[in-house]
Structure 1
Amino acid sequence: MPMEDQKEIEKLRSELNEHNYRYYVLAAPIISDAEYDHLLNRLRDLEKKHPELFSPDSPTQRVGAPIQAGFSEVVHLTPMLSLANAFSEEEVRAFDAKVKKLLGHEVGYTIEPKVDGLAVSLRYSHRRFFQGATRGDGERGEDITLNLKSLRDIPWDLPEYAPQEVEVRGEVYLNKADFERLNEERLDKGEAPFANPRNAAAGSLRQLDPRVTAGRPLHFWPYAGSGLRGITTQYQVLTDLEGLGFLRPNGLPDFLQNRLIRNIDDALALFKIFNDRRHEVPFEIDGMVIKVNSLKDQEALGFVGREPRWAIAYKFPAIQKTTILKDIQVQVGRTGSLNPVAILEPVEIGGVVVSRASLHNEDEIERKDIRIGDAVLVQRAGDVIPQIVMPIKERRTGEEKLFQMPERCPVCSSHTVRLPGYAMRYCTGGLSCEAQLIERLKHFAGRRAMDIEHLGSQLAKSLVEKKLVQSIADLYFLNKDSLLTLERFGEKSADNLLESIEKSKERPFSKVLFALGIPEVGEVTAKYLAEHFMSIDLLGRASLEDLEAVPGVGPSISESILQFFGEAHNQNVLERLAQAGLNLQQRAKKQRPLDGLIFVLTGRLERFTRPEAQSRLEALGAVVSSTLTKKANFLVAGAESGSKLEKAQSWGVPVLEEEELLRMLDESTSSEETSPHVTVDLKGRS
């Protein structure tokens, strides 16, 4: 046997034991799950190659980590083992073939989501919850009974028809939205963020002070039970657990339902659905679990090492990897904002090579203590722009460098400023800065703004570089001869562009207002401003108080609008846009039943989704705001309403339940069809 293999085996075992301790005990890993799996698979391959080096203490044969000091020890009735992982269709088919070969007959499977949480065991005696424990090292776990009692998903008492002695196993997890809030709170306190919801759940549950756990919204997802009567299949186990009070959250996507399948082809088809729609789940799932359905077959198959032969976890492509932050570059946005961008050592995440990631702003860099040269944990989930979750400080060498935002614009060399109350630093070059003008042109021509077809990034850049466009108004004074001077721009292209520019003059005032790119004035705010002031002249003469009377417009947006109209250059642009014939005033609109009324939605709605509710309200003239202020006319409170409900009650803002909202919508719709003048009863429960 080569000495190199023996040394690598020893090194891998040592590294994996260290990573297990950081993952299971400290809830603070320094490598991603994908990298851990890579190390573990490499060790497995080497141990298969050299069976004479087998050790029962190897990380391939054990699960978890030793008990943390401060917790009592619990011996599990049966070992809490982990699942074998599959990362390809071939590995899943190999699992299926092996199961059928060992059993000698066809098998059915259950399909369950692999919830990315902390595995725990719950024991009931005389139908009362008396002991809860972590997985620990698989044989022994930590007694966290008091902490688990703070979870609303875990019943303290089972129904009278339940068996006297029951054990339930499952995952404790944290919803993604709650994870984001928890990390924000930690960063604000100067504490290190959790790497992902799983580590946040583990760190929250394994607290020596149960009050800390009680303050965090943890949930429980059951996946196994023993001591149940008359049960012969895994599917029956899951169904029985629901009957005992272990309920799953309402409103989950349909593909998460317990499923029975006849063959492995059905499992592979379901995996594609799981992977494509995983972003719809409010908590993290990192794969799909395939289990032999028959408990008799499970018993016959047994275990190998630390894993059952009758189940496998088909893992999604990783969304997190660690890599090196090589540099931080600064890009200039259309409003002049300086946006730091991480330049990374290229790394493949979920089948895509990632070499850049968002860093948001200088405060975020400082809060997370991110430095050039750091090893960093990078995340790419769905279509979200890759972002740096956290630096791996334990891997610092002392060569890392602190980052500072530049005092001069990297494009036009103008001074940069950071205004009080703003997170971003801005270039003062205005439209003299080519970077801003190019981005403003792209925004102005965008589909949601002036919808000028054929005006993309490359053409915008060419128009600015050739000095054909030095303000957005110049677009409307272009001619065919000047366009033909552009490289690779023929007569057909020129005709198409000019036709599209001419057509854009028909866009309504609200779209023109949005297209101007006034900082902090988005599409919805532009619509409300257009409807309130009716023309660009009246908007330009509005005072701070006038502006703040518009729904959704606060001091920050008002100040931004005043600054925009106070610039002589912007006034010149508006005059030229008026000369070009753009719509700078709002057409008279039909009065609607809920015109001007401000609604805020909170909690979970049962009869329709929030976007559906918002769409129906806005169609009747209402303003739907995400922020509750004393100016709101109604708060619509769904299930599990939080602090907004308490604020509304203390401020005297009328509160509507979902049924009351439905009644109001139906009555308003009916009234609108028969009469344009409708009076809405401004009442609700308070």
Structure 2
Amino acid sequence: MSDTVETPAPADGSAATSPVDERAPVESLSREQARDEAEALTTRILELRDAYYDRDELLEDDATYDALLRRLEQIEHQFPELQSTDSPTQTVGGRAQTQLFSPVTHAERMLSLDNVFSADEFAAWAAKVERDSGRAVRYLCELKIDGLAINLRYERGALVSAATRGDGVVGEDVTVNVALVPGIPTRLAGPADQLPDLVEVRGEIFLPKVAFDELNVLQREAGEREFANPRNAASGSLRQKEEGKTPAQVARMHDRLGRLRMLVHGIGAWSRPPVAAQSEIYELLQSWGLPTSTHYRVHDSAEDAAGFIAHYGEHRDAVEHEIDGVVVKVDELELHDELGATSRAPRWAIAYKYPPEQVNTKLLDIVVSVGRTGRATPFAVMQKVRVAGSEVRQATLHNQDVVKLKGVLIGDTVVLRKAGDVIPEVLGPVVELRDGTEREFVMPTECPECGTPLRPAKEGDVDLRCPNARSCPAQVRGRVEHIGSRGSLDIEGLGEIGAAALTQPDVPSTPPLVTEAGLFELTLDDLLPIEVIVRDSETGLPKLEEDGTARRRSPFRRNPTAAEKKQGLEGPQPSAVALTLLDELEKAKTKPLWRMLVGFSIRHVGPVAARALADHFGSLDAIRAATAEELAAVDGVGGIIADALIDWFQVDWHVEIVDRWAAAGVQLFTPGHPGPGAAAAAGGVLAGITVVATGSLEGFTREGAQEAIIAAGGKAASSVSKKTDFVAAGPGAGSKLGKAEALGLRIIDAAQFAILVREGPDALPAEPADAAE
């Protein structure tokens, strides 16, 4: 919904397209058509406002609401006689109040903000501001928090009320609950004679990302539905009453309120002291002990302000709270008075709305996929939608219990999130849009690929697995693809398509690879006959030839060129992919031992543990000969990994993989290694240094960052603790970043991380005295 200087967006995320996109241009409408559409739009917008502000229900996403409102604005601009004083384009927020809380009248109305959605629209707004003001303009840019707008009223320095925005004139009295939110002073700092008799402070109450993740963990543990997004969790936490609750429920309510935070960003009614700029107001608010954001800057030009917008558009995941845009305000207060306001929004401020990171889409089906470890995972198959810069059709639902906990039904409209580079996640259903045609998902009892009955790996496991590890086509395909991945042997040509062709071709009936044991025995004679069915990228269904048969192609052969035919070459020739794959397989035979260990898909053995094992033992034979105690004693291994190694080597077809790889010339040892436990002490610029890499670090894959730490002699830890020396954090860092901040650890970005692993800690610039931002 329309966001404001003081108010939250009424929905987190948005649909990639809106219901109004397909409607006729406003210019082509007759007056009767325009009137009918304006009435329908007004009814729908008010329904959405009532649901959002009064009942905390999300019936549509943010972009859909914005599109509806903009369409109404366009119609009213084209037909001014249709605009009334109570039109949604002329009013703010929800209705005056609900029955849950007492009404509070704001001393000064809380206005909304107009929105822009592109660089061109922002430039046009700034040009009008500068043209109307007649002089150079400085712009204050701040992040638009996706939270709940609150108005704090202080009289002679004491907090007397806290109220939601409501309709901009009357809000809800939530003073009792706001008093439990950390960081909000009940009395302003400073000498009493220097505090205003009355001041209204405007800001946003929100739930930090780390606190949101922690809260949802508690929801899961309690068997309750998880919150779809931080904004709704914050609103739901604040708009509660203790009446009728048990002591345990009150304790949980207080715990949720204690996780909330507030940042203030403006002032309503007050007797203005001698300040000349919005940025000076922020300094004044901070001097009063009020929490203000560090994420704001004053820029001397609209071009610089546009740069601020672009920067946070690319780095929004690095911010500790959810944002969906940037608010740009004219910094000079005198210009606020000159530029004035419309009936609903100031002309001296604008909200730049980013493309959505949450959208609504249709859940078409839930299918079960089997991975390389045999785990059967439900996947959501959705109507394709664009979110966070990419198109998404599928998202994991983890297991059948998660499907139940999220409460999604096949056919639901669901909320989808994709922050930065993380895997798309279905947050939950939009229950209000159900029409009765939805159906419940039923977890299959047999493997969809090989028909083997599914079962837990051990008693008490939630996940179901296919126990046919050796022969299940899905598991073999997954393991072969894993061997070719960057984190393992990094073999070009052995990605998803290559692995599927080698393990599940349409022709021949017996695939070249029944297991990965024969990988390094492959020849051109094995590759050239392979044919696979060509499938439609949208539906997954086979494409058909004119005669109705499935279309096939071979990724490993091609027809001879005219020049080759002149040279006497006849029949299929190996494709570049085939030649590259065989060449890459030959090179992979001498890759480091730790990469081979990763390639075996031994449970719990990732790059860090594999590196430790290879460095300590020096050969696969020595690892096989070691006892569980000897394996567990290796730093970075431990009992769980030791047991997994012992178990893996006791399976006959696992031993077959090792034996056939060795017979094919694969080097399963580290040349020159002195033997188990005799490796030289690790050196390097990070010797004795523990580093945690989290989030997306530019220039490094996740595995690459860990490798860089280890190669520099450091310890690549997976969790943050007091023993951690550095935390390298990029966008999407999540809870590890929050824990690092809480422990006061040194946090570095991708550029500093590159220096650290190359030159060591002494090469880093000195840490600023104030490293809060």
2:607 and 2:461 map into 1 onto residues whose CA distance is 21
Answer yes or no: is 1:27 the counterpart of 2:56: yes
Partner SS for 1:426: coil
Shift in Å, 1:276: 0.8
Shift in Å, 1:619: 5.1
Answer yes or no: is 1:394 the counterpart of 2:432: yes
2:436 and 2:643 map into 1 onto residues whose CA distance is 44
1:415 and 1:560 map into 2 onto residues whose CA distance is 23
One-letter amino acid matched to 2:87: S
2:639 and 2:681 map into 1 onto residues whose CA distance is 28
Q: Are the counterparts in 2 of residues 596 and 623 from structure 1 also a CA contact under 8 Å?
A: no
> Which of 206, 228, 233 is the matching residue for 1:195?
228
Q: Are the counterparts in 2 of residues 598 and 624 from structure 1 also a CA contact under 8 Å?
A: no
Q: How do residues 288-327 of structure 1 correspond to structure 2 at under 5 angstroms?
A: 288-327=326-365
Instruction: Provide, for residues 344-381 of structure 1, a one-character-per-residue CA deviation record: whole Å limited to 9, x for no partner.
Output: 12233345333222222222111112111111111222
Q: Are the counterparts in 2 of residues 518 and 564 from structure 1 also a CA contact under 8 Å?
A: yes
Answer yes or no: is 1:406 the counterpart of 2:406: no
Instruction: Provide, for residues 469-524 of structure 1, a one-character-per-residue CA deviation record: whole Å limited to 9, x for no partner.
Output: 33323222223454455423627655543332222222222211111112332222
Q: Are the counterparts in 2 of residues 600 and 626 from structure 1 also a CA contact under 8 Å?
A: no
Residues 497/351 of structure 1: CA separation in 2 closer, same or farther (3 Å cut): closer
Shift in Å, 1:118: 0.9
Residues 602/316 of structure 1: CA separation in 2 closer, same or farther (3 Å cut): closer
Partner SS for 2:120: helix
One-letter amino acid matched to 1:16: I
Q: Are the counterparts in 2 of residues 122 and 129 from structure 1 also a CA contact under 8 Å?
A: yes
Instruction: Provide, for residues 113-168 of structure 1, a one-character-per-residue CA deviation record: whole Å limited to 9, x for no partner.
Output: 11111111222223233322211211012222232222333233333255233332
2:155 and 2:708 map into 1 onto residues whose CA distance is 51
Shift in Å, 1:337: 2.0
Q: How do residues 205-604 of structure 1 correspond to structure 2 at under 5 angstroms?
A: 205-209=238-242, 212-215=253-256, 216-225=258-267, 226-248=270-292, 256-262=295-301, 264-419=302-457, 420-464=459-503, 465=505, 466=508, 467-485=511-529, 486-488=556-558, 490=574, 494-531=578-615, 534-540=618-624, 549=633, 557=641, 560-585=644-669, 587-588=673-674, 589-592=679-682
Partner SS for 1:202: helix
Q: What is the RMSD of the two structures over their aligned residues, measured on CA atoms?
A: 3.6
One-letter amino acid matched to 1:500: E
Q: How many pairs were matched up?
A: 630
Shift in Å, 1:85: 0.8
Partner SS for 1:417: coil
Residues 634/353 of structure 1: CA separation in 2 closer, same or farther (3 Å cut): closer
Q: Are the counterparts in 1 of residues 340 and 347 from structure 2 also a CA contact under 8 Å?
A: yes
> Which of 188, 203, 214 is the matching residue for 1:158?
188
Answer yes or no: is 1:59 the counterpart of 2:59: no
Shift in Å, 1:50: 3.6
2:204 and 2:588 map into 1 onto residues whose CA distance is 55
2:318 and 2:128 map into 1 onto residues whose CA distance is 33
One-letter amino acid matched to 1:152: P
TM-score (normalizing by structure 1): 0.82
2:151 and 2:711 map into 1 onto residues whose CA distance is 48
Q: Are the counterparts in 2 of residues 551 and 598 from structure 1 also a CA contact under 8 Å?
A: no
Partner SS for 2:66: helix
Shift in Å, 1:531: 4.3
Q: What does residue 172 of structure 2 align with?
A: 142
Q: What does residue 717 of structure 2 align with?
A: 624
1:318 and 1:502 map into 2 onto residues whose CA distance is 46
Q: Are the counterparts in 1 of residues 690 and 726 from structure 2 also a CA contact under 8 Å?
A: no
Shift in Å, 1:223: 1.1
**Greater CA drift, 302-311 or 153-162:** 153-162
1:75 and 1:199 map into 2 onto residues whose CA distance is 24
One-letter amino acid matched to 2:471: S
One-letter amino acid matched to 1:474: G
Q: Are the counterparts in 2 of residues 337 and 424 from structure 1 also a CA contact under 8 Å?
A: yes
Shift in Å, 1:59: 2.4
**Greater CA drift, 523-532 or 501-510:** 523-532
Shift in Å, 1:435: 2.3
2:707 and 2:524 map into 1 onto residues whose CA distance is 44
Partner SS for 1:431: coil
Residues 477/378 of structure 1: CA separation in 2 closer, same or farther (3 Å cut): same
> Which of 65, 88, 104 is the matching residue for 1:36?
65
One-letter amino acid matched to 2:611: K
2:632 and 2:689 map into 1 onto residues whose CA distance is 14
One-letter amino acid matched to 2:277: T
Q: Are the counterparts in 1 of residues 481 and 499 from structure 2 also a CA contact under 8 Å?
A: yes
Residues 499/439 of structure 1: CA separation in 2 closer, same or farther (3 Å cut): same
1:404 and 1:552 map into 2 onto residues whose CA distance is 40
1:228 and 1:564 map into 2 onto residues whose CA distance is 74
Q: What does residue 41 of structure 2 align with?
A: 12
5+ residue gaps, structure 2, are: 1-29, 243-249, 530-555, 559-572, 695-701, 728-734, 737-742, 747-756, 761-773
1:596 and 1:408 map into 2 onto residues whose CA distance is 50
1:129 and 1:245 map into 2 onto residues whose CA distance is 12
Q: What does residue 647 of structure 1 align with?
A: none
Q: What does residue 83 of structure 1 align with?
A: 113
Shift in Å, 1:286: 0.6
Q: Are the counterparts in 2 of residues 22 and 29 from structure 1 also a CA contact under 8 Å?
A: yes
1:627 and 1:566 map into 2 onto residues whose CA distance is 35
Q: What does residue 185 of structure 1 align with?
A: 218
Shift in Å, 1:287: 0.5
Instruction: Provide, for residues 647-667 of structure 1, a one-character-per-residue CA deviation record: whole Å limited to 9, x for no partner.
Output: xxxxxxxxx9869xxxxxxxx
Shift in Å, 1:618: 8.9
2:104 and 2:173 map into 1 onto residues whose CA distance is 6
Partner SS for 2:153: strand
1:97 and 1:622 map into 2 onto residues whose CA distance is 53
TM-score (normalizing by structure 2): 0.74
Residues 248/618 of structure 1: CA separation in 2 closer, same or farther (3 Å cut): farther
1:276 and 1:446 map into 2 onto residues whose CA distance is 27
1:183 and 1:438 map into 2 onto residues whose CA distance is 34
Q: Are the counterparts in 2 of residues 450 and 507 from structure 1 also a CA contact under 8 Å?
A: yes
Partner SS for 1:506: coil
1:593 and 1:154 map into 2 onto residues whose CA distance is 50
**Greater CA drift, 89-98 or 579-588:** 579-588
Residues 7/261 of structure 1: CA separation in 2 closer, same or farther (3 Å cut): same
Partner SS for 1:154: coil
2:706 and 2:395 map into 1 onto residues whose CA distance is 35
Q: Are the counterparts in 1 of residues 188 and 290 from structure 2 also a CA contact under 8 Å?
A: no
Shift in Å, 1:171: 1.0
Shift in Å, 1:570: 0.7
5+ residue gaps, structure 1, are: 604-609, 645-655, 660-668, 673-686
Q: What does residue 650 of structure 1 align with?
A: none
Instruction: Provide, for residues 543-563 of structure 1, a one-character-per-residue CA deviation record: whole Å limited to 9, x for no partner.
Output: 666655555657765554444
One-letter amino acid matched to 2:175: T
Q: Are the counterparts in 1 of residues 208 and 322 from structure 2 also a CA contact under 8 Å?
A: yes
**Greater CA drift, 482-491 or 111-120:** 482-491
